[in-house]
Structures are given as C-alpha cells and as structure tokens.
Amino acid sequence: MTKRISMGTWAYCTGPRAERPVPWDEVLQHLDESGLDGFELGGVAPHPTPRSLDNKDKRDEARSAWESRGLGCSGFAPDFSGHKLITTLDTKPYIAAFDKHARFCEELGIDVIRVDTLEPPGVLGEITGERPEPVVVAVSDAMKRLVATWKECTKIAADLGVRVVWELSPDRALN
C-alpha cells in the first residue's frame, strides 16, 4: 500500500476560518502547491457537500477538479448537524442521513466515511429517579444503541464499497 498524506478540509472553513472560509478552488490549489497527496473532505459548506453537489454532473466536475491536480480524497467526514445518536430512541433519521452521505461517497469515488458519536460526554451517566435534564443515558444503553445503529450503517456502506471509520474525539460521548 502506498503511503499518502492528506489534510482535513474543515481546517479551511471552521474554527478561525468560519467567518471567511477559503473557497474550494483555493483549497485544492493550496493542497497541490503544498505537495500533499490529497484531503479528507469535511462535509461543511462552502466546500463540496451532498447538497451543493446535488447531481451527477456536479459530482463528476468536483472529482475531476481534484483528480486533475493529482489529488485524492482519503475520506469524507459528513455533517450530521441536527441529528442525535445517543439521546434518541429513533435513530432512523440518522441512518437516512448516513445513507445519503454514503451514496455521496460512492458517487465521488471516496471509499471511507468517518463517523463519531455526535453528542458530548455529558449525556452519559446512570439514570436514577426521574429523567434528568439534560437527557442522561446509561452507558450500557448508549452502547447498545450505537452498535445497533452503526451495524445498519455499515451494511449500507459495505453495499456501496465504502468503509466506515469511527473518529475518537474527546468532545464526544463514548470516546
């Protein structure tokens, strides 16, 4: 396997860059000029997202833009804003969003999709008495829900030839 170095594109449009994100074409130019091999696509506008690349022609054009520079995409980190994974009993909306993002990966030739638990560590705990606010979920229940949901997601991804990776992050539950 060839070793390649890529950079996450969210560095160009979140945090200090949130007010003035770097345009996508400038990101590709910077990556190319820096000698990097590619990028992990952060699914945050104004960079490519399933919403902005809403048809095959747009997706083909975007892929061509990075491949013409010799860049590859090492993975996709979708934006699951508005979704819950641990503090909800109904994970169907999350699974539907995952399906949309996994299909986006397949159409762009991206073979890795990154997931995380979405919610902060503070949602975990043992429930005693009445339901506390904010919602607290027992760790065992959270793990059962997470595993069941991600098993469904990995089946979707596998059918599309996409691998699922879990990014462990200290600001997320179960990490």
| Every domain of the chain and the residues it spans | 6-166
Cis ω for the linkage preceding 21 (within 30 of 0):
no
CATH H superfamily, domain 6-166: Divalent-metal-dependent TIM barrel enzymes (3.20.20.150)
For the chain, the maximum distance between any two Cα atoms, rounded to a whole number of angstroms, is 60
- List per-residue pLDDT tens for the chain, 175 residues long: 577 899 999 889 888 888 899 999 999 999 999 999 999 999 988 999 999 999 999 999 999 999 999 999 999 999 998 999 999 999 999 999 999 999 999 999 999 999 999 998 888 876 555 554 556 888 899 999 999 999 999 999 999 999 999 998 888 988 8
What pTM was estimated for this model as a whole? Answer: 0.90
List, as own/partner pairs, every contact residues 44-52 make where C-beta atoms lie below 8 angstroms and the sequence separation is at least 24, other chains included: 44/9, 44/10, 44/13, 44/14, 44/79, 45/13, 46/13, 46/21, 47/9, 47/12, 47/13, 47/21, 48/24, 48/108, 49/79, 49/104, 50/100, 50/101, 50/103, 50/104
